[in-house]
Amino acid sequence: MIPFSVLDLAPITEGSDAATALANSVDLARHAEALGYRRYWLAEHHNMPGIASAATAVVIGQVAAATQRIRVGAGGIMLPNHSPLVVAEQFGTLATLFPGRIDLGLGRAPGTDQTTARALRREANEPHRFPEDVAEVLALLDDPEPGQAVRAIPGVGTRVPVWILGSSRFGARLAAALGLPFAFASHFAPGELMAALADYREQFRPSRFLDQPHAMLGFNAYVADSDEEARFHASSMEQAFVALRQGRPGPIPPPVAGYRERASRFERAVVEQTMVCSAIGSPETVEGEIEAFLERTAADELIVTNSGFDHAARCRSYELLAGVRNRLANRRGAS
């Protein structure tokens, strides 16, 4: 069975607040664990009115404490915003508190706008150091070298599994060169998906981390009892993508019936370009779309995101999606 995982952006909805968003994340994580999802990842974004997971390691600790088995991690930590030592200490601490359950996905984007990036004290050349910084994180989480002057405590020897995140061929090639698992952000940047997958698989070098490539792909899924209901709930994220493209990010707006039909040509273009890797509809509709996506990409794992306005509808969507996953697994096992 291809594992399904959850990517949670801890959405802050209009009329609500960050405290509610974080409580919802904990609740959804418990729900995902009971439904058999493999991982529950949270993402680092800054100065985003609709996302509550800026202090990603802190939120991961809360989610891990509220669950028992599901792997919890970062999808991802934007490494140019941090020193490798601090990242190793944070995730080494998490791995010490929750052994065998913590993942560390690393990305090289700022996760914000340039003004906020400067407030994070990033320097202009820091993204270019990403390969070296990844290597430093890996070394700090490994067993120490004789005479090593600086150690991550906690962190040293924990060997927290590290993933490379990307939305371009650069991340794919780096993951391949280092022999690391690769997660592609196809849920919002699908343009280079197939080229990046080809690079990763063709250039992959077996390592002490992996014998063969392992690609996890981001995917939007809004599942409801009917296609119409699912399209209604998905309209919240569609509106949010349009607002972000227009430079006015905000809390997740309430859904709008018939949003795409009433949207302008520009708005429809943004939605259609951004949400290529999506399935919206009843379980039967979504099952066919996910099966086609898996056939096209040969993904090793799917990480699904749903930033809907209604928390109960999000939980219901993941519940219905788990049924889709199980049916796909049964059909593949029987073939």
Residue with tokens 């788990």: 322
pLDDT score at 182: 98
pLDDT score at 273: 92
Position 261, amino acid:
E
Secondary structure E strands in the chain: 4-8, 39-42, 71-78, 102-107, 162-166, 182-184, 215-223, 278-281, 301-305
Q: Which two tokens stand for residue 164?
A: 């490379």
Percent of the chain with pLDDT over 70: 95
pLDDT score at 230: 98
Tens digit of pLDDT for each residue in 151-190?
A: 999 999 999 999 999 999 999 999 999 999 999 999 999 9
* Assessment of whether the complete model's pTM goes beyond 0.85: yes
pLDDT score at 141: 98
Please give the CATH superfamily to which domain 4-222+282-334 belongs.
Luciferase-like domain (3.20.20.30)
pLDDT score at 331: 80
Q: Which two tokens stand for residue 304?
A: 């699904």
Mean pLDDT by 10 residues, the chain (335 residues): 96 98 98 98 95 97 98 95 96 98 92 67 68 97 92 97 96 98 96 97 98 98 98 97 93 96 94 95 98 97 98 98 96 68
Check if the beta carbon of residue 60 is closer than 8 Å to that of residue 97. Answer: no
- Show me where the domains of the chain are located: 4-222+282-334
pLDDT score at 335: 54
pLDDT score at 128: 81
pLDDT score at 113: 67
Q: What is the largest CA-CA distance in the chain?
A: 66
Tens digit of pLDDT for each residue in 256-266?
A: 999 999 999 99
Nearest to 175 by CA among 133, 138, 131: 131
Q: Give a three-class secondary structure readout of the chain.
A: CCCEEEEECCECECCCCHHHHHHHHHHHHHHHHHCCCCEEEECCCCCCCCECCCCHHHHHHHHHHHCCCCEEEEEEEEHHHCCHHHHHHHHHHHHHHCCCCEEEEEECCCCCCHHHHHHCCCCCCHHHHHHHHHHHHHHHHCCCCCCCCCCCCCCCCCCCCEEEEECCHHHHHHHHHHCCCEEECCCCCCCCHHHHHHHHHHHCCCCCCCCCCCEEEEEEEEECCCHHHHHHHHHHHHHHHHHHHCCCCCCECCCCCCHHHHCCHHHHHHHHHHCCCEEEECHHHHHHHHHHHHHHHCCCEEEEECCCCCHHHHHHHHHHHHHHHHHHHHHHHHC
pLDDT score at 111: 54
How far is residue 259's CA from residue 309's CA, in Å, rounded to a whole number? 14
Give the DSSP letter of residue 254: P
Residue with tokens 């609500």: 16
pLDDT score at 118: 73
